[in-house]
């Protein structure tokens, strides 16, 4: 009898754990969907998030102040989210950084290895420019695309440094 009740409690615990993981997975999918469908979200912005129970922590850098508040507002409305910690940084306004963003876009997505990536609604290589320092974020298909993006970014006049944080989907 004790063994049967112990097994039942263990099974209920596993079922509860599975339900909790499924809820977290659902929240993660909804947060991701809500963020990438924000109006004005572009390849010059980068969002990331962490889900810890009913708390979602938003991180990243955005070029428009409204994106920071918009991201927080849409995530707050997701069922199962009780608290949103918004650690998104708004990039400083800078005509030089704006010029660099356009030059970087042309240099990176103008290269034959990366041209096909530019036709997506939100291209996978996000170009973050802060005071002349460039960070590349996102996911590319292979190591060649990652290297080409880094080289192309480094070749743009006026860029002080390049941090290549691109993740490779198919490591070969």
Report pLDDT for 124. Answer: 96
Return per-residue pLDDT of the chain as tens, 172 residues. Answer: 443 433 333 343 444 455 556 666 899 999 999 999 999 999 999 999 999 999 999 999 999 999 999 999 999 999 999 999 999 999 999 999 999 999 999 999 999 999 999 998 889 999 999 999 999 999 999 999 999 999 999 999 999 999 999 999 977 6
- Longest Cα pair distance anywhere in the chain, in angstroms? 76
Q: Are 76 and 83 in contact (CB under 8 A)?
A: no
CA dihedral 117, 118, 123, 125 (to 10 degrees): 70
Q: Residue 103: which of 47, 60, 162, 147 has the closest Cα?
A: 162
Cα 6 to Cα 1, 10, 11, 18, 20: the distances in Å are: 9, 6, 9, 18, 21
pTM of the model: 0.82
Please name the residues in contact with 81: beta carbons below 8 A apart, sequence gap of 6 or more: 27, 31, 54, 55, 56, 75
Residues 111-148 pLDDT 10s: 999 999 999 888 999 999 999 999 999 999 999 999 99
Q: What domains does the chain contain, in order, with CATH numbers?
A: 2-90 (3.30.70), 95-168 (3.30.1340.30)
């Amino acid at each position: 009898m004790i063994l049967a009740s112990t097994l039942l409690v263990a099974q209920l615990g596993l079922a509860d754990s599975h339900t909790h993981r499924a809820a977290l997975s659902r929240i993660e999918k909804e947060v991701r969907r809500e963020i990438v469908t924000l109006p004005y979200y572009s390849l010059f912005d980068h969002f990331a998030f962490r889900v810890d129970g009913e708390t979602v922590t938003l991180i990243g850098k955005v070029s428009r102040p409204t994106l920071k508040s918009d991201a927080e507002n849409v995530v707050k409305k997701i069922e199962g989210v009780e608290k949103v910690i918004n650690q998104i940084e708004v990039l400083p306004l800078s005509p030089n950084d704006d010029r660099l963003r356009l030059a970087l876009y042309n240099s990176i997505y103008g290269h034959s290895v990366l041209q096909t990536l530019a036709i997506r609604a939100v291209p996978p290589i996000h170009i973050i420019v802060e005071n002349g320092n460039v960070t590349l974020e996102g996911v590319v298909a292979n190591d060649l695309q990652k290297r080409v993006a880094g080289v192309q970014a480094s070749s743009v006049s006026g860029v002080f440094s390049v941090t290549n944080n691109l993740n490779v989907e198919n490591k070969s």
